[in-house]
Amino acid sequence: MAPGLFEKINTLISANLHGIVDRALQANSVQVMDEYIRQVENNLSDLEESTATVGGTVKTLKRKYEEFAASAEKLDRDIDTLIVKGKDDLAAAAQAELNTKQQLSQEYYQQWQEQDTQYQKMLDMRLKLEGRLTTIKQEREHLRSLIELAEAKKVTTKTVKSLDALSNVGDAEISSLSDQIRQRLDQEDARLDMATRNLSEEIDSAVRGSEVERQLEERKRRLLGGAGGAGGTASSSGQSSSSN
């Protein structure tokens, strides 16, 4: 995803919805909210397109990694057969080819993991942005009704600077509506905070899990030698290039 789009979306996600609502209230118009909605919808469209592109890249890199890893695993078995049959020249050529395949496999693996991490972040950003869009659209209608009610009751909303001030105008119905809007905005902020923490924990867990797997594979190769390598998975074959 382009850095510019990333920054725009982060700005929209972290926007203070209370501030947007208060500015709309101060202007006695929902146009401020309409502008935010327009920006979110435009950037959401760009984000979805970029996410689809990165998602396709992730699938391609994974497929390439699996192809090279499987080919390297087969070639590794063929080298053993050639050695047993005394065909050392062919075994040497096959070993050189194996080294190349393992290196390419490792490169595809690293690229796949990096792109997949980015892809998951983009998916999470899309969910957050959609949540903000849904919330602001709902509150736009609530605020529009509140402004109309205040006008009908001759409350001079142009002099009111925020929902907090409007909740103190002395009218029970208006105060109740403003409190409800404020509470819903608080809930949306809480959901955003929780989603952000959950994503960070998932990424940390995935990184730690990959590191543990790598360490165990290294230990197996050191302790078991050839037996450990033959019993590994396609993933461990791809990650063993550094030892060749």
- How far is Cα 130 from Cα 137, in angstroms, rounded to an integer? 11
Q: pLDDT at position 227, please? A: 46
Residue 223 belongs to domain spanning: 3-243
- DSSP symbols for 112-161: HHHHHHHHHHHHHHHHHHHHHHHHHHHHHHHHHHHHHHHHHTT--GGG--
pLDDT in tens, 7-63: 888 888 888 888 888 888 788 788 988 999 999 999 999 999 999 999 999 999 999
Residue 5 per-residue DSSP state: H
Q: Over 70: is that where the pLDDT of 147 sits? A: yes
Identity of residue 133: L
| Mean of pLDDT values over 186-210 | 63
Using pLDDT thresholds of 50, 70 and 90, give the confidence band for residue 199. Answer: low
pLDDT in tens, 56-103: 999 999 999 999 999 999 998 998 888 888 888 888 998 899 999 999
Q: pLDDT at position 30, please? A: 86
% of the chain at pLDDT higher than 90: 27
| Mean of pLDDT values over 125-131 | 90
Token pair for residue 133?
A: 């869009």
User: What average pLDDT is seen over the chain?
Assistant: 77
- Coil vs helix vs strand at 81: helix
Number of domains in the chain: 1
| Mean of pLDDT values over 191-203 | 63
- DSSP symbols for 154-210: T--GGG--SHHHHTTSS-HHHHHHHHHHHHHHHHHHHHHHHHHHHHHHHHHHHHHHH
Report the predicted TM-score, pTM, of the whole model to 2 decimal places.
0.62
CB 61 within 8 A of CB 115: yes
Match 């929780």 to its residue by tokens.
194
